[in-house]
Amino acid sequence: MKKLCGILLLILGVVGIIMPIMPGWIFIFIGWAILKSTPKNMFVY
């Protein structure tokens, strides 16, 4: 579930960069952080 959430955020970040509605790199950063972190570390960002 956590992995799926991170992957969705990464995809959202790529879409955000292609269509600059929102800062896509923030979503990529958060998504990568979720994928690399444990559930406890998710709330740091």
| 2 Cα distance to chain centroid | 11
* Structural domain includes residue 20: yes
Q: What is the pTM assigned to this prediction?
A: 0.42
CA distance linking residue 38 with residue 2, whole number of Å: 9
Q: In the chain, how many domains are there?
A: 1
Domain presence at residue 42? no
Q: Examine residue 12 and state whether it is found in any structural domain, yes or no.
A: yes
In a domain, 33, yes or no: yes
Over residues 1-45, the pLDDT tens digits come to 677 777 777 777 777 667 666 666 777 777 777 777 655 554 554
Question: Would you state the pLDDT for residue 15?
Answer: 74
Tell me, yes or no, whether 43 lies in a domain. Answer: no
**DSSP-assigned letter for residue 21:** T
Residue 8 lies in a domain: yes
**What residues make up the domain containing 4?**
1-37
DSSP 10: H
Q: Is residue 44 in some structural domain?
A: no
25: its two tokens: 């790199």
In whole angstroms, what is the distance from residue 25 CA to residue 33 CA? 12
Sign for the pseudo-dihedral over CA of 30, 35, 37, 42? positive
